[in-house]
């Protein structure tokens, strides 16, 4: 129930919903917390039950609460609103393996950029600069992705947002990997959409689980081609063939592919582009070249790309031409390519060493590509707490999961050859006699 220290207020539906939203922002109402029944809150506020029901409807439409029949109404697990409550800060002597960001020391340095990038920050004649358009098409074509229709967004999440907003309406179901990227789940809630979990394993989304989701009426599917967050899974050709056969029976489904790691993944791209009538393939630059380079290519069918561009023109207008110049120059720089290749090899080495060290201690883990290793555990809270006491910060799996088994995500960016054995020892000790269930669902 609503904590004693927080009581909703208001006489109208708008006032009551604003009051409850304030409680979420302040951290007095926590994600997943059960709210009073409509009749109980109506009695507390001395208003008609219909007024409270209308307030809860407003909150549902904005993704702040979820109503599950007889189980009542609760705060969404990922309410789309800023909160003053935050995770505890990571102390100076704790190694932060929870962030999911690349190692700054392995990113291309902007000193590699020539003076030509410093031109005037003028509005572009087109949404995408010619040199970036040419380079982007060439790079995607080399990976087998059709790129006749191509546009830009301000980063991967912005691209997903624009694709979903252009095609879907509030209440639509979106199939997402489980476990999967928390930001995508947050975005889906903020747009008033509903996530539907699709089980994954080391080869990507499982075809039978995707089939179940499509039969349930999902309107869109989001798939990570490689370096899946949090498991590091990557799509293989046999699995892609199985997924294409499933999608062939649902040609009107919107297919979104997220290739956020791109060259950093260390494995060849396997794409489903064109498997349905409406599709979008997204390749962002943040992981290989730096989180501040908020640029993402969007290739897709002509209608989908045209809708996205129309929305960009009436909102942000364009992606920064300064960023476009930076990306175009980095893509054409042999030195930058060498830095990214070195980073990919370094992350591979760190992941493989950690997975091997855990296996030696009887701990199962998965992490085929990218920056992360997923470790199934029986009790996330206990594992995270014990590792924190051992001076490691890892991400609890609850942020990533819908229906899949518990686990923790370890980002390898800050690991070194000398620290990995100690982490493996501490994790094995934290798990004790209960190393975890299989990571598949």
Residue by residue, pLDDT tens for the chain (441 residues) are 444 457 899 999 999 999 998 888 888 888 888 899 999 999 999 999 999 999 998 888 777 888 876 778 888 877 776 654 445 567 778 888 888 888 888 888 777 777 766 666 667 767 888 999 999 999 999 999 999 999 999 999 999 999 999 999 988 999 999 999 999 998 998 888 999 999 999 999 999 999 999 999 999 999 999 999 999 999 999 999 999 999 999 999 999 999 999 999 989 999 999 999 999 999 999 999 988 889 999 999 999 999 998 888 888 888 888 899 889 999 999 999 999 999 999 999 999 999 999 999 999 999 999 999 999 999 999 999 999 999 999 999 988 999 999 999 999 999 999 999 999 999 999 998 544 444 343
- For residues 100 and 135, membership in a common domain is answered with no
Q: Tell me which DSSP letter residue 7 carries.
A: -
Q: Which domain holds residue 65?
A: 13-75
pLDDT at residue 321, as a whole number: 87
Task: Enter the tokens of residue 407.
Answer: 């686990």
CA distance to 58, 60, 81, 112, 325, per residue, from 187 (Å): 18, 14, 11, 34, 28
Is 252 part of any domain? yes
| 227, 263 Cβ separation under 8 angstroms | no
Is 68 part of any domain? yes
Distance between CA atoms of 162 and 148, rounded to whole angstroms?
Answer: 19
Query: Is 0.85 topped by the overall pTM?
Result: no
Is 272 part of any domain? yes
Helices (H), 291-377: 302-313, 321-331, 334-360
Task: Enter the tokens of residue 170.
Answer: 């509030």
pLDDT at residue 2, as a whole number: 45
Domain boundary residue, one of 306, 334, 362? 334
- For residues 215 and 229, membership in a common domain is answered with yes
- The CATH number covering residue 57 comes to 1.10.10.10
- For residues 49 and 177, membership in a common domain is answered with no
- For residues 226 and 314, membership in a common domain is answered with yes
Q: Which residue has the tokens 């830095």?
A: 339
Domain boundary residue, one of 285, 300, 334? 334
- For residues 146 and 189, membership in a common domain is answered with yes
- For residues 177 and 276, membership in a common domain is answered with yes
- Identify any residues that bridge with 377 across adjacent strands, giving them in sequence order: 435
pLDDT at residue 436, as a whole number: 43
Q: Is 107 helix (H, G, I), strand (E, B) or coil?
A: coil
Is 89 part of any domain? no
The Cα diameter of the chain in Å comes to 70
What dihedral do alpha carbons 386, 388, 391, 392 form, nearest 10°?
100
Distance between CA atoms of 325 and 154, rounded to whole angstroms?
Answer: 14
| Helices and strands per DSSP (H, E), number in the chain | 14, 15
Distance between CA atoms of 45 and 242, rounded to whole angstroms?
Answer: 55
Distance between CA atoms of 222 and 193, rounded to whole angstroms?
Answer: 13
- For residues 396 and 291, membership in a common domain is answered with no
Distance between CA atoms of 320 and 299, rounded to whole angstroms?
Answer: 19
- Identify any residues that bridge with 227 across adjacent strands, giving them in sequence order: none
Distance between CA atoms of 170 and 186, rounded to whole angstroms?
Answer: 14
In 289-323, which positions are buried (b, 16+ CB within 10 angstroms) versus exposed (e)?
bbeebbbbbbbbbeebbebbbeebeeeeebbbbeb
| 84, 378 Cβ separation under 8 angstroms | no
- The CATH number covering residue 173 comes to 3.40.640.10
- For residues 61 and 157, membership in a common domain is answered with no
- For residues 213 and 239, membership in a common domain is answered with yes
- For residues 326 and 345, membership in a common domain is answered with no
- For residues 319 and 362, membership in a common domain is answered with no
Distance between CA atoms of 326 and 290, rounded to whole angstroms?
Answer: 11
Is 440 part of any domain? no
Distance between CA atoms of 16 and 54, rounded to whole angstroms?
Answer: 9
Is 1 part of any domain? no
Is 436 part of any domain? no
pLDDT at residue 278, as a whole number: 95
Distance between CA atoms of 116 and 118, rounded to whole angstroms?
Answer: 5
The domain tally of the chain equals 3
Domain boundary residue, one of 304, 334, 364? 334
- For residues 363 and 314, membership in a common domain is answered with no
pLDDT at residue 83, as a whole number: 53
């Amino acid at each position: 129930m609503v904590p004693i220290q927080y009581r909703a207020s208001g006489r109208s539906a708008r006032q009551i919903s604003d009051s409850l939203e304030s409680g979420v922002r302040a951290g007095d109402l926590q994600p997943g917390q059960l709210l009073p029944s409509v009749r109980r809150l109506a009695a507390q506020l001395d208003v008609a039950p219909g007024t409270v029901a209308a307030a809860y409807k407003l909150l549902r439409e904005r993704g702040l609460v979820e109503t599950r029949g007889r189980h009542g109404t609760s705060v969404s697990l990922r309410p789309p609103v800023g909160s003053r409550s935050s995770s505890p800060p990571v102390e100076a002597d704790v190694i932060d393996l929870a962030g999911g960001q690349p190692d700054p020391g392995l990113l291309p340095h902007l000193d590699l950029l020539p003076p030509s990038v410093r031109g005037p920050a003028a509005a572009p004649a087109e949404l995408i600069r010619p040199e970036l358009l040419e380079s982007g098409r060439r790079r995607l074509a080399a990976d087998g992705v059709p790129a006749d229709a191509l546009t830009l967004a301000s980063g991967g999440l912005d691209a997903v947002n624009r694709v979903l907003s252009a095609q879907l309406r509030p209440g639509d179901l979106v199939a997402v990997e489980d476990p999967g990227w928390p930001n995508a789940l947050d975005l889906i809630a903020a747009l008033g959409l509903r996530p539907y979990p699709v089980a994954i394993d080391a080869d990507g989304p499982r075809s039978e689980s995707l089939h179940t989701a499509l039969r349930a009426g999902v309107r869109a599917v989001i798939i990570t081609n490689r370096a899946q967050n949090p498991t590091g899974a990557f799509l293989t050709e046999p699995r892609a063939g199985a997924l294409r056969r499933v999608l062939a029976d649902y040609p009107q489904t919107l297919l979104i592919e997220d290739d956020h790691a791109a060259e950093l993944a260390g494995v060849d791209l396997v794409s489903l582009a064109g498997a349905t009538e409406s599709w979008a393939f997204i390749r962002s630059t943040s992981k290989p070249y730096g989180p501040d380079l908020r640029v993402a290519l969007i290739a897709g069918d002509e209608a989908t790309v045209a809708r996205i561009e129309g929305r960009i023109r009436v909102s942000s207008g364009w992606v920064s031409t300064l960023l476009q110049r930076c990306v175009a120059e980095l893509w054409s720089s042999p030195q930058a390519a060498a830095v990214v290749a070195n980073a990919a090899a370094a992350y591979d080495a760190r992941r493989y060493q950690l997975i091997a060290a855990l296996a030696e201690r009887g701990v199962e883990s998965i992490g085929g590509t990218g920056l992360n290793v997923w470790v199934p555990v029986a009790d996330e809270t206990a594992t995270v707490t014990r590792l924190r006491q051992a001076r490691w910060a890892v991400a609890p799996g609850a942020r990533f999961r819908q229906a899949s088994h518990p686990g923790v995500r370890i980002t390898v960016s800050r690991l070194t050859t000398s620290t990995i054995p100690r982490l493996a020892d501490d994790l094995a000790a934290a798990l004790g006699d209960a190393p975890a269930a299989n990571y598949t669902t």
